Chains A and B, each alone.
Chain A
Amino acid sequence: MATASLIADSTQIAQGAEAVSDPPSRNTTRKVYKAYIHTSFDSDAKVPILLKHRFKKQYRHPSLDANLTRARVAGEARALLRCLRSGVSVPGIRMVDATEGVLGVEWIEGKSVRMLLGGGAEGEEEQVSDSEEFFDDTTDAGGESVSHVDPLDEYQVTIDEIMGLIGSEIAKMHKADIIHGDLTTSNMIIRHPFAAKGPSPTKLVLIDFGLAYTSTLVEDKAVDLYVLERAFASTHPDSEPMLFAVLEAYKKGMYKDWTTVERRLQDVRLRGRKRSMVG
């Protein structure tokens, strides 16, 4: 099939830095590629896209596998489109082949918030599209770090600014009743200032809507925030002030909806992500 041969011609992207030494497919549900779909004969200007391939699972019955793959690709594409229409900063969609399980999105040149905050790069969900030299910056962090530029300086952002952006983007998303389902710092990318497009580029981009769904429930929004809170706590030391800044911005974005979410978030913190089904 055409999409299969497109993937065969694309370069698989290392997901996370240790993939340099490891086999690149640590993630067992999908693979990520860099591809070019519109090659012109007349000019060399090539724009890459990112292909996300949910490959066939041998352990599932073929027809069930086809159905699930189709539904998930379609779901992710729809969630992205909904986000775009609601003004949430997400990558644009370039192609969808639900039968083959392929989703093609805009290529974003940048680094995940996780990497910028020095949280390492062992994340399985890592989908960062770094060029080689950025890669080296993080992999040999143990070496002569004196000569290295602070990534925050290179990206011209401060930690406070990043936290503010995270909060306001999540607020925009929740106001549109979209629940991300997997909010972690590796699913947020800061666009490289040199790769910024348009007159007032969005710096922070939310990615990986594979677990996203729509819901108006306060519970779901609170759990979404709680997942982020736990992700912060487990990957970044001294996460409390950062989280505080995120929630401040979120509060501003949500206006009067904040109080109900806040109350619920406190409940969720006490009991955990799963609501008890007893009684």
Chain B
Amino acid sequence: MEVYDYPHFNLQAAICLFTDVKNGPEIRKRIIEAATCQGEEGEALRDAVNFAFVDARLITSILHLQTAVFYALLTQSQGCLRTKTVHSEILWALNPSNNISEAIRRYGISDSTTSLLVIEISVLPSHHDKIKAIVDGTVSPFPRLSEITDWATIKKYHKLNGELAIQHLRDVATAHAMIDEIVVSTVATKSVSQ
């Protein structure tokens, strides 16, 4: 778990990586339940899962996620969120297309999710225990992310298979660094992409 400070937005972002997550389907069910429930009870349910849950397989580096977080904070501060909350905006920023439900399907938690990145954006993130209460998994340091990343799917989603930048690269590590750079830049330019 690491906490990042964004003093210009008066907000902080806590990012936590979980591996060996066992209750993926359960979390998913909880989120859907919270979203559909109404009234005061719904408020309480929503508050308990008020985080962004991102499938760690599709994240190339922590900078990738940070860039999406920054994007979400920026659009929120300008009052032009494309989705309903700053947390869902992170998922939307990660997906190269404009389709919100596709973004959530791809980058959000699914039944097959075993490694998870949980992000909380708030004035003072203090709910380490709250996150850990929801996710049944092992908290892992960020460098472990490189073992989880699913490069083939990322290449497919970002339509990188035919691109010159990685076609000629024989060395796997160089190719991954290149993909990371392209993916991070794609997220950063989200607001001006056609």
Contacts and interface: CB of A to CB of B under 8 A. Distances in A.
Interface stretch (B19-27, B46-54, B64-72, B146-154): B64-72
Contacts of B168: 87
Interface stretch (A89-97, A181-189, A241-249): A89-97
Contacts of A99: 78
Contact of A40 (B3, B166, B167, B177): B3
A40 B63 CA distance: 12
Interface string A1-16: 1110110010000000
B165 A96 contact: no
B165 A9 contact: no
A200 B71 contact: no
Nearest to A47: B63
Interface in A62-103: 73-74, 77-78, 80-81, 84-87, 92-99
Interface in A195-222: 197-200
A154 B190 CA distance: 38
Given A9-B8, A198-B177, A93 B3 contact: no
A95 B71 contact: yes
Given A84-B181, A95-B70, A198 B8 contact: no
A250 B190 CA distance: 33
Given A87-B164, A198-B174, A198-B177, A39 B4 contact: yes
A268 to B, nearest CB: 27
Contacts of A85: 160, 163-165, 182
A199 B177 contact: yes
Nearest to A198: B177
Size range of the chain B interface in the assembly: 35 or more
Interface string B158-181: 001001111110010110011001
B177 A197 contact: yes
A104 interface: yes
Contact of A93 (B8, B173, B189): B189
B2 A42 contact: yes
A77 B78 CA distance: 19
B9 interface: yes
Contact of B185 (A43, A73, A93, A199): A93
Interface in B1-33: 2-9
B184 interface: yes
A271 interface: no
A152 interface: no
A45 to B, nearest CB: 11
Contacts of A74: 192
Nearest to A77: B189
Contacts of A94: 67, 70, 184-185, 188
Contacts of A97: 74, 191
B89 to A, nearest CB: 14
B116 interface: no
A176 B182 contact: no
A253 B153 CA distance: 31
Interface of B: 2-9, 63, 66-67, 70-71, 73-74, 77-78, 160, 163-168, 171, 173-174, 177-178, 181-182, 184-186, 188-193
Given A41-B5, A93-B185, A93-B188, 20 more contacts: A2-B74, A3-B8, A9-B8, A38-B4, A38-B63, A38-B66, A74-B192, A77-B188, A81-B189, A87-B163, A94-B185, A94-B188, A95-B70, A96-B188, A96-B190, A96-B192, A104-B188, A175-B164, A176-B164, A199-B171
Interface of A: 1-3, 5-6, 9, 37-43, 47, 73-74, 77-78, 80-81, 84-87, 92-99, 104, 172, 175-176, 197-200
